Chains A and B, each alone.
Chain A
Amino acid sequence: MTKRMVKAAVAALLALPAAAQAAYQLNLPSPVTRVAGEIYDLHLIMMAIILVIFVGVFGVMFYSIYAHRKSVGHKAEHFHENTTVEIIWTVIPFIILIGMAWPATKTLLSLKDTTSPDLTIKVTGYQWKWGYDYLKGEGEGISFLSSLSTPQDQITGSASKGEHYLREVDNRLVVPVNRKVRLLLTANDVIHSWMIPEFGVKQDAIPGFVRDTWFKAEKEGTYRGQCVELCGKDHAFMPIVVDVVSAEKYSEWVAEQKKKIAAVAEDPNKKWDLEELRARGQGVYSTTCVACHQANGQGVKGAFPALDRSPLVNGPKGRHIEIVLNGKQGTAMAPFGKQLSDTDIAAVITYERNAWSNKTGDVIQPSEIRAARK
């Protein structure tokens, strides 16, 4: 009873200014999973306990500062030990701590229980975007990349910023409401971390290892987060957007995705011409390469090499294909062979070899990439 009253009082106190001005949010976001709700309550209860201790301890201190000053003629006493008091103020904090650790332990156990999920999705962190693969459950086989969709001119300030500035993506993760979703996380290059505060989920994605976490969203809606482990230059620009939808809508979405997969399944032996590849390659370049090598192909001096007039891009195509497929050890150049299809890689290489002042006239066919993969 008292516990609930304290919680309600603190919640009301924190909600007041938050309601007045949404930009000055004072507490954790409203939870939509059971675990996030428990964390939310745990934090409130701890804040209440801490506030009481704070008022008590500093009440004593400021009273002493007020009353025991030399300027008001207070004479110093000379006590400097009291075993009873010292034992009391060692034991009481200890008991309070046990009181805090108990509910925390219960929450932690449910937070780590990833058993029997309805849907399993693999999340892969890339520099600097997320990849999602639906592994098991309804939607199995769906797979896509999800990158920032905020235009560059909003970031540099030449256009006004949209409502979801830096927290919007081209392809959202879609999951059904009230289903246990297990995430398997890994990374392709460096450590990333996937979080949605409303779900109470934050899990590092570690290259070469698979970690898991789970959530079961109880409310439909769109939830936003972003990478929270420093992962290099564009760490601030790899958001996460999750749509939690009803079971029916989810089935519709799955059907739509399957249709798309069928539509883009291409004839692997199709011969592409220069213009087709360049157009497609420009698209791939602008989502995958532009962050480092820049739209004008000039790179960033000292950090990321220029592609315009680059000897590599204008040299033999075999070496160029190899670098894009396998990356370059010890640099930020990732192996894109795992992320992109043969056609996309062929297209982007063709584009790079025929863009800006590069004029090799080379046309790279997807079949050449397939051959180079072996």
Chain B
Amino acid sequence: MSAVIDSGHAHDHEHHPSGIMRWITTTNHKDIGTLYLWFSFTMFLVGGMLALGIRAELFQPGLQFWHPEFFNQLTTMHGLIMVFGAIMPAFVGFANWQVPMMIGAPDMAFARLNNWSFWLLPVAATLLVASFFVPGGATAAGWTIYAPLSTQMGPGMDLAIFALHIMGASSIMGSINIVTTILNMRAPGMTMMKMPLFVWTWLITAYLLIAVMPVLAGAITMLLTDRHFGTSFFNAAGGGDPVMFQHIFWFFGHPEVYIMILPGFGIISQVIPAFSRKPLFGYSSMVYATASIAILSFIVWAHHMFTVGMPVAGMLFFMYATVLIAVPTGVKVFNWLATMWRGSMTFETPMLFAVGFIFVFTMGGFTGLILAIAPVDIQLQDTYYVVAHFHYVLVAGSLFSLFAGFYFWVPKWSGRMYDEKLGKWHFWLSMIFFNVTFFPMHFLGLAGMPRRIPDYALQFAGFNEISSIGAFGFGLSQILFLWIILKVTVLGRGDKASARTWEGADTLEWTHLPSPAPYHSFHEQPVVK
């Protein structure tokens, strides 16, 4: 690769508006990336506060703070906000910032569509949060909104359905943009099998999104017509079937969980080689493993439904298909370890989060394997074991990979180094409190504590107390993260970052662009050899 640094353009056509209008009208991938990241962080804090509301109630048996119906609203909205408001938009923010720079493109393929995909989100989020204040409150049917419970809900459910529709439209447009950008705008010489892994994982994720968001839209539209227009898709009395809702929902829902983790795999696959000062081990098998996981995700959905009373042949099929996913996932973990093996490692904050990711995500993978075994799942389905499992993959997995990515790329985005000492504190506090919160939930689940309950039998009191303490610790640690972000971006404090901040980083944004990356980068595409 040529080492010429694109030193910005003195004659930049920067006639863009300033102030608030800059952000509302922007078509710049970096601005839009920043918007996505701030939006998702805000939603992360909102969803986090709902989670603390849950853990406060569960600190002790008995009803202390909330009525049961409000508690159900808390669990439901925590799930919806974290999945659709925090994790998914955060990864899209990373895609906006990084995909064009990593493939040597000047911007995203559809710049105005990009603006529109972002600005739909605050509208959807407003509908979602406002639903707390309508008669009957927000939807309390769980984030999975199973019919017919969701047909019983008040107008809060309708607001949530509209919000999901809008978010779905935003995701589909964002995905089309990402696919088009990656397939058409790569720098000369960058063949598919030379793309950085983060780009690969996002390409596959974008296809998953395009495939399944319309399925969710179908499910919630049928729900809407069942609620208001007298149809009976999910009502047995009218010839429908409540279980059909679950089939449709999870046909969307299982690929959805991979949508939330595959870009995280991509980030980890950039960070580990950079700090091991060694190329990624098994690049092509990483690509194939990601693709296999994506394909398998379409044929495992009913493992979320082992207790609905499926025919035994169906249960066997979904059990076998599900355990198969362990193979490509294992390949990924082994490849990361082989990348670290005999490297020359240093442990700045991005690497800490990446190694932490591998450690705790693998635990989530193991519990996933246990849940995949249908007879064992009969005992654990809908208990806290499931809650522990998916927080190990979504918090320790997706969220930690987002943290790793933020610390890794923020020098390139802001031109300044984040506070390394505080970053390390953020890692250790998050890591410890995460495990204090969620590890005891495995035991609660084994002992048979159901999820989504505001009050519980006395035998569950001990572990719930520990878990609640951990949750408040974890929540407070994220305030530290907010301070770290503000310090390095808004306040602009910290040492100046060099163009190639990390010794082992070798993708185009590090080798061809200064830090901070200029507002318009790669007017002339670099040539990749």
Interface residues of A (CB under 8 A from B): 21-29, 35-36, 38-39, 42-43, 46-47, 50, 53-54, 57-58, 60-61, 64-65, 68-71, 74-82, 85-86, 89-90, 93-94, 97, 100-101, 104-105, 107-109, 111-112, 154-157, 161, 163-167, 185, 189-191, 193, 195, 197, 200-204, 206-209, 211-213, 224-237, 300, 302-303, 330-332
Question: Which residues of A lie under 8 Å from residue B45 when comparing CB positions?
Answer: none
Task: Choose from A21, A42, A76 the contact partner of B343 (Cβ within 8 Å).
Answer: A76
Given A23-B458, A68-B343, A157-B63 in contact, is the A107-B452 Cβ separation under 8 Å?
no
A-B pairs with lowest CB-CB distance, top 8: A208-B236, A211-B309, A236-B453, A76-B344, A107-B375, A197-B448, A228-B450, A25-B447
Q: Is the CB of B277 within 8 A of A101?
A: no
- The residue in A25, A60, A157 that gathers the most chain B C-beta atoms within 10 A of its C-beta is A25
> Is B3 located at the chain interface by the 8 A CB criterion?
no
How near does chain A come to B452, taking the closest CB pair, in angstroms?
A: 5
Q: Is the CB of A204 within 8 A of B312?
A: no
CA of A104 to CA of B457 in the docked complex: distance in angstroms?
31
Q: Which of B30-38, B135-143, B174-182 contacts A (4 or more CB under 8 A)?
A: B135-143
A105 to chain B: closest residue by CB: B316
Given A24-B463, A207-B236, 20 other A-B residues pairs in contact with their CB atoms under 8 A: A25-B447, A26-B446, A28-B446, A39-B376, A39-B378, A46-B373, A64-B340, A70-B344, A76-B276, A76-B278, A79-B281, A80-B282, A105-B319, A157-B62, A165-B457, A200-B379, A208-B236, A229-B307, A233-B68, A235-B68
| Band of interface residues on B | 35 or more
Q: Is the CB of A65 within 8 A of B345?
A: yes
How near does chain B come to A301, taking the closest CB pair, in angstroms?
A: 9
Question: Which residues of A lie under 8 Å from residue B255 when comparing CB positions?
Answer: none
Question: Which residues of A lie under 8 Å from residue B142 when comparing CB positions?
Answer: 230
How near does chain A come to B432, taking the closest CB pair, in angstroms?
A: 17
Q: Which of B162-170, B199-207, B328-336, B412-420 contacts A (4 or more CB under 8 A)?
A: B328-336
CA of A89 to CA of B332 in the docked complex: distance in angstroms?
10
Q: Is the CB of A190 within 8 A of B370?
A: no
Given A97-B323, A209-B241 in contact, is the A202-B378 Cβ separation under 8 Å?
yes
Question: Which residues of B lie under 8 Å from residue A54 when comparing CB positions?
Answer: 362-363, 366
Q: Is the CB of A26 within 8 A of B450?
A: no
Q: Is the CB of B459 within 8 A of A22?
A: yes
Among residues 213 to 240 in chain B, which have CB atoms less than 8 Å away from a CB atom of chain A? 227, 235-237
Q: Is the CB of B373 within 8 A of A68?
A: no
- A-B pair count, CB < 8 Å, reads 293
Task: Choose from B137, B277, B355, B452 the contact partner of A76 (Cβ within 8 Å).
Answer: B277
Question: Which residues of B lie under 8 Å from residue A94 when comparing CB positions?
Answer: 327
Q: Is the CB of B69 within 8 A of A46?
A: no
7 A-B pairs within 8 Å (CB atoms) are namely A29-B447, A54-B362, A61-B359, A86-B282, A112-B315, A157-B63, A208-B236
CA of A185 to CA of B309 in the docked complex: distance in angstroms?
10
> Is B308 located at the chain interface by the 8 A CB criterion?
yes
A93 to chain B: closest residue by CB: B330
Q: Which of B144-152, B469-477, B515-523 contacts A (4 or more CB under 8 A)?
A: B144-152
Among residues 337 to 367 in chain B, which have CB atoms less than 8 Å away from a CB atom of chain A? 337-347, 355, 358-359, 362-363, 366
> Is B287 located at the chain interface by the 8 A CB criterion?
no
Q: Is the CB of B375 within 8 A of A164?
A: no
Task: Choose from B140, B319, B355, B447 the contact partner of A104 (Cβ within 8 Å).
Answer: B319
Q: Is the CB of B452 within 8 A of A230?
A: yes
A25 to chain B: closest residue by CB: B447
Q: Is the CB of A65 within 8 A of B344?
A: no
Q: Is the CB of A330 within 8 A of B152?
A: yes
> Is B430 located at the chain interface by the 8 A CB criterion?
no
Q: Is the CB of A236 within 8 A of B69?
A: no
Given A77-B278, A193-B382 in contact, is the A100-B323 Cβ separation under 8 Å?
yes
Question: Which residues of B lie under 8 Å from residue A80 when comparing CB positions?
Answer: 278-283, 339
CA of A46 to CA of B338 in the docked complex: distance in angstroms?
26
Q: Is the CB of B346 within 8 A of A71?
A: yes
Q: Is the CB of B308 within 8 A of A206?
A: yes
Question: Which residues of B lie under 8 Å from residue A229 when comparing CB positions?
Answer: 146, 307, 382
CA of A22 to CA of B283 in the docked complex: distance in angstroms?
49
B76 to chain A: closest residue by CB: A230
Task: Choose from A24, A53, A78, A97 the contact partner of B327 (Cβ within 8 Å).
Answer: A97
Task: Choose from A70, A111, A225, A330 the contact partner of B345 (Cβ within 8 Å).
Answer: A70
Interface residues of B (CB under 8 A from A): 61-64, 67-69, 72, 135-137, 140-142, 146, 148-149, 151-152, 154, 227, 235-237, 241-243, 276-283, 285, 307-309, 312, 315-316, 319-320, 323-324, 326-327, 330-331, 333-334, 337-347, 355, 358-359, 362-363, 366, 369-370, 373-376, 378-379, 381-383, 443, 446-448, 450-459, 461-463
Q: Is the CB of A93 within 8 A of B326?
A: yes
Question: Which residues of B lie under 8 Å from residue A85 when comparing CB positions?
Answer: 338
CA of A22 to CA of B447 in the docked complex: distance in angstroms?
11
Q: Is the CB of B331 within 8 A of A86?
A: yes
How near does chain B come to A247, taking the closest CB pair, in angstroms?
A: 28
Q: Is the CB of B459 within 8 A of A23?
A: yes
Q: Is the CB of B375 within 8 A of A42?
A: yes
How near does chain A come to B114, taking the closest CB pair, in angstroms?
A: 34
Question: Which residues of A lie under 8 Å from residue B67 when comparing CB positions?
Answer: 233, 300
How near does chain A come to B466, taking the closest CB pair, in angstroms?
A: 9
Q: Is the CB of A104 within 8 A of B374?
A: yes
CA of A229 to CA of B227 in the docked complex: distance in angstroms?
21
How near does chain B come to A217, taking the closest CB pair, in angstroms?
A: 16
Q: Is the CB of B373 within 8 A of A42?
A: yes
Q: Is the CB of A227 within 8 A of B450?
A: yes
Q: Is the CB of B343 within 8 A of A108?
A: no
Q: Is the CB of B342 within 8 A of A61?
A: no
How near does chain B come to A2, taking the closest CB pair, in angstroms?
A: 21
Q: Is the CB of A61 within 8 A of B340?
A: yes
Q: Is the CB of A228 within 8 A of B381?
A: yes
Question: Which residues of A lie under 8 Å from residue B443 when comparing CB positions?
Answer: 24-26
